[in-house]
């Protein structure tokens, strides 16, 4: 499983990083949000699901 952000419509509000600093990090160079885990560790899957639900603009996806 991995997390994906749709950068076309992500508003870069940073809520995901504020709530889930173990999953996301703001990238000030590229003006985007970096997903921290290329492959999501199993123990973070529940948090990742919450992060998907918490995105203000529903632009985070959990994909296989």
Query: Which residues are at the interface with other proteins (CB under 8 A)?
Result: 7, 9-15, 17-19, 21, 26, 28, 31-32, 54, 56-57
CB of 1 to other proteins, least distance (A): 23
CB burial readout 31-58, b (16+ within 10 A) else e: eebebeeeebeeebeebbeebbeebeee
Tokens of 49: 């699901």
CB of 28 to other proteins, least distance (A): 6
CB of 12 to other proteins, least distance (A): 6
């Amino acid at each position: 499983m991995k997390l994906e952000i749709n950068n076309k419509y992500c508003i870069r509000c940073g809520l995901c990083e504020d709530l889930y600093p173990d999953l996301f990090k703001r990238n000030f160079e590229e003006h985007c949000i970096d997903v921290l885990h290329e492959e999501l560790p199993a123990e973070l899957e529940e948090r990742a699901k919450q992060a998907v639900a918490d995105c203000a603009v529903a632009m985070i996806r959990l994909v296989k």
